């Protein structure tokens, strides 16, 4: 089978003074963060401090909630993804998302799950191109060897960890420039978690990755940069401290960061 290699260039993502509301409830307050190209940025912090909301703002999913409002800018390689000239589908194509709970189309075959991602691109591809893409995406997601002999079986028949890697493969088929992952391992066992972490390490040379995780060891293992979010005493979520992961873990500037990363929260 022909291998199709990724053809997109690496892009940095930047949130500038991002604030968010659900109705009158302000949940994020002027969050500014640069997520460098070709690196893994981890968003860490206690539950309810707005990490998932921030992630959803980064690919324009937040605006789908009727009560949601937003201020600030999100720049993909310097271009505002919320500019009037940019369509929702452009953000969806360029910035993929993997969720906490693996959500492949369960009745659809493994093959068709990967190919389903292509619909977003609107591209017409030949059968052999599709075959090449399926192999390439499943390989990059670390799943090819396990499923190559059963591509026609339903995605829902795979284990949880395999389903999550299938979801990563489906996202990769769109050739995104950024991959957002919202606690992608929290529903998985330790072995599957390790496999996903290895995949993240391999993918970051071709796609910018932003991962939300509540697992500090995982943040330390997989990320190059970390941003610590906090929403204290009912205040909206904000970033207390952000920087290289080694600095956040070894020489944090704020006592709250130190307490959080060392499990004293
Ligand atoms: P985290 O991912 O850090 O746990 P979230 O971004 O999920 O935090 O939530 C931040 C705040 O926004 C919380 O107070 C949560 O209750 C609220 N929130 C999240 N989603 C919605 C929604 N769809 N409607 C109303 N409030 C929401
Ligand atoms: Mg969350």
Best residue for ligand 1 mutational test, from 48, 69, 211 (most atoms within 8 Å of Cβ):
48
pLDDT at 2 over 60: no
Residue 4 has pLDDT above 60, yes or no: no
> Which residues, in sequence order, are CB contacts of 143 under 8 Å at separation 6+?
162, 165, 166, 169
pLDDT tens, residue by residue, 200-235: 999 999 999 999 999 999 999 999 999 999 999 889
The 8-class DSSP code of residue 117 comes to G
Structure tokens at 150: 């059963």
Q: Which residues contact 197 (CB under 8 A, 6 or more apart)?
A: 185, 218, 221, 222
Question: In a 3-state reduction of DSSP, which class is residue 229?
Answer: strand
- CA-nearest residue for atom 7, ligand 1, is 52
At residue 119, the pLDDT reads: 80
Q: Whose CA is nearest to atom 13 of ligand 1?
A: 48
Ligand 1, pocket residues at CB < 6 Å: 22, 27, 47-53, 65
Among all bound ligands, the one having the nearest atom to the CA of 43 is 1
Q: 181 CA to middle of ligand 1, Å?
A: 16
CA separation for the pair 74, 139 (Å, rounded): 31
Residue 8 pLDDT? 59
pLDDT, residue 246, reads 98
Q: Whose CA is nearest to atom 24 of ligand 1?
A: 22
CA 166 to ligand 1 center in whole angstroms: 27
**What is the CA(49)–ligand 1 centre distance, in A?**
8
Identify the residue whose tokens are 């999100």: 74
Atom of ligand 1 nearest to the CA of 53: 6
**229-248 pLDDT per residue, tens:** 999 988 999 999 999 999 99
Distance from the CA of 174 to the center of ligand 2, in angstroms? 24
Q: So what's the pLDDT on residue 9? A: 75
For residue 50, how far is its CA from the centre of ligand 2 (angstroms)?
7
């Amino acid at each position: 089978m022909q291998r199709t290699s990724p053809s997109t260039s690496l892009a940095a993502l930047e949130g500038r003074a991002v604030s968010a509301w659900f109705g009158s409830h302000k949940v994020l307050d002027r969050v500014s963060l640069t997520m460098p190209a070709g690196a893994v940025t981890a968003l860490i912090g206690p539950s309810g401090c707005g990490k998932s909301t921030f992630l959803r703002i980064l690919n324009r999913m937040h605006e789908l909630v009727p009560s949601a409002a937003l201020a600030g800018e999100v720049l993909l390689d310097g271009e505002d993804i919320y500019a009037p000239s940019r369509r929702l589908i452009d953000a969806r194509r360029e910035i993929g998302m993997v969720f906490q709970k693996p959500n492949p189309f369960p009745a659809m075959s493994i093959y068709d799950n990967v190919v389903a991602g292509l619909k977003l691109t609107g591209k017409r591809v030949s059968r052999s191109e599709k075959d090449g893409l399926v192999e390439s995406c499943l390989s990059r997601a670390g799943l090819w060897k396990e499923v190559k002999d059963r591509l026609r079986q339903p995605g829902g028949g795979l284990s949880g960890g395999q389903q999550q890697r299938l979801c990563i493969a489906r996202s990769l088929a769109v050739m995104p420039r950024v991959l957002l992952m919202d606690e992608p391992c929290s529903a998985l066992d330790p072995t599957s978690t390790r496999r996903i972490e290895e995949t993240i390490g391999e993918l970051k040379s071709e796609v910018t990755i932003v991962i939300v995780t509540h697992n500090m060891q995982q943040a330390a293992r997989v990320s190059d940069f970390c941003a610590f979010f906090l929403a204290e005493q009912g205040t909206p979520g904000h970033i207390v401290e952000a920087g290289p992961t080694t600095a956040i873990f070894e020489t944090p500037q704020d006592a709250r960061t130190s307490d959080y990363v060392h499990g004293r929260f």
